[in-house]
Amino acid sequence: MAKKKRRFKGGEIPTASMADIAFLLLIFFLVTTTIDMDKGLGIVLPAEGEQVEVSSKNILNCLINSTGQVLLGDEPTKISDINRVIRQKIQANNKLIISVKSHEKTKYKDYIAVIDQLKMANATRISIAETQL
Amino acid sequence: MKFEKRTRLSSDIPTASMPDIIFMLLIFFMVTTVLREFSGLPVNLPKAVRIEKLSSKNHTSHIWVSKEGLVSIEDKLYKTEDIRHIMYERRAADPQLVVSLKADEQSRMKLISGIHNELRKADALALNYATLQAVD
């Protein structure tokens, strides 16, 4: 049986779907690249050697112990209540500075929870004291 | 006078250059996306509600603190006392520097407080505690 000779019909690569392929690639890369934005609680540390005299009635001590219990002024407070208490205190005295002091063995998690609560109460004057034993 | 009706006007949008345009877009996005530069230490970040975004990646410097108490900057381990030199140089090079502290939620405040002091000495006062968004 004789083979039929195939006639050559021009060698073009179809480019009509090229756009679709490129679009697919584009979308694939757009979807797979995750831009990890840094998010967190912002705070400004006091400058070194900076000491400002503040009258004692404008200062509220917030002490965190090693088990994550919080003493706000003189009263033991639950972490979830700090928000509400601080809000009231700031309303009474808008010059109030909250001084956060923690024990050396306090967990960072508890500390962040307290700072978060202060932020929720819209406290802008937060001071961070050194840890104490 | 009679107007001649134009009939030879083609109404097709030329699609021959479409792949080129899309490839350009693709390459643009690939070039502009900055991938993570440093892997850091494995940390479980704490969660918080009132979080804010850091304005710019270029002005951010990260410090990783693991729960074992290791401190890492750009994938190198440092002692707490070394932070001041590194951060002082960075702060001098970029006055808008914000330090992002990626500390494990189980780390102790003694170390964190030590880092606070180092940053104060380096005059890098803008600090950001990296946290995850708490589901409220």
Q: What is the pLDDT tens value at each position of chain B, 136 positions in all?
A: 677 766 677 778 877 788 888 888 888 888 877 666 667 778 888 888 888 888 777 788 888 988 888 888 888 888 888 888 888 888 889 888 888 888 898 888 888 888 888 888 888 888 888 888 877 6
- Count other Cβ atoms within 10 Å, centred on residue B71: 22
pLDDT digit string (tens) for A68-108? 888 888 888 888 888 888 888 888 888 888 888 888 888 88
Contact criterion met (CB < 8 Å) for B15 and A19: yes
> For residue A112, is pLDDT > 80?
yes
A34: left (phi over 0), alpha (psi -120 to 50) or beta: beta
Distance of CA B98 to the CA centre of its chain: 11
Chain B interface, mutation test: which of A12, A39, A105, most B Cβ atoms within 10 Å? A39
Amino acid (1-letter code) at residue B73: I
All residues of chain B having their beta carbon less than 8 Å from the beta carbon of residue A18 are 18-19
Question: Which of A15, A18, A111 is nearest residue B109 as measured by Cβ atoms?
Answer: A111
Q: What is the ipTM of this complex?
A: 0.73
Can you say how many angstroms the Cα of residue A11 is from the centroid of all Cα atoms in its chain? 59
Instruction: Judge whether A104 and B110 are in contact, CB under 8 Å.
Output: yes
Alpha-carbon gap: A90 to the closest alpha carbon of chain B (Å)? 18
Nearest to B128 among A18, A41, A105 (CB): A41
